[in-house]
Chain A
Amino acid sequence: DAGITQSPRYKITETGRQVTLMCHQTWSHSYMFWYRQDLGHGLRLIYYSAAADITDKGEVPDGYVVSRSKTENFPLTLESATRSQTSVYFCASRIYGTVGTDTQYFGPGTRLTVL
């Protein structure tokens, strides 16, 4: 099916472990984003990518690494997980053409718990 998929949907890990969250989109949208959502903070941008091999930091990038070797994939890696990274992570892709067509589509989310 077309759209954005994220895997895993749920993940429990321990402090200090490396974790990779996967994001795949079938639309070939140029832009992709990673957000985390926490109570009291809303959605916060971690990293975004304007195209394959082009990535940039968002509001809360510390402790995260991204890569984008292919347009359709945008994995997010927590190099050494900490409890403060317990959150729900959303991947999004963006279609952006003329004024009035800017739309982000969100994946189903990954609920990550760091013990």
Chain B
Amino acid sequence: QKEVEQNSGPLSVPEGAIASLNCTYSDRGSQSFFWYRQYSGKSPELIMSIYSNGDKEDGRFTAQLNKASQYVSLLIRDSQPSDSATYLCAGNTGNQFYFGTGTSLTVIP
């Protein structure tokens, strides 16, 4: 069974700090990885996608992929209270997408 596991948290960081979210996956055939943000009662929205080993930066967000270790992470720099949400890690193999259970992040003002 293909799985994506996340540190379940909850994670609390002070405003302005770096939040680090981690994810491991079981299927070495997974091609792409995604980080979604989900506010309570809302639908997931895509923050970052990453396909190659290494880092990918987009504004305050940096995704990191290490295929040898089957590890994906998301760093949020200068965390803001508006970043408080659940973050979902996902991988895909072809048309099948597998999601982790999410990590709840609270940014404390």
Contact = CB atoms under 8 A, between A and B. Distances in A.
Interface of A: 31, 33, 35, 40-45, 48, 50, 56, 58-59, 90, 99-100, 102-109
A107 B92 contact: no
Given A45-B96, A107-B43, A109-B43, A40 B49 contact: no
Contacts, number: 49
Given A33-B97, A109-B42, 8 more contacts: A42-B88, A43-B97, A43-B99, A45-B98, A56-B95, A100-B49, A102-B92, A104-B46
B46 A103 contact: yes
Interface of B: 32, 34, 42-46, 49, 51, 88, 90, 92, 95-102
B3 to A, nearest CB: 10
A31 B43 contact: no
A106 B45 contact: yes
Main secondary structure on A side of the interface with B: strand
B103 to A, nearest CB: 11
Nearest to B6: A42
Given A41-B101, A58-B96, A99 B43 contact: no
Contacts of A103: 46, 49
Contact of A42 (B42, B45, B51, B99): B99
Contacts of B100: 42
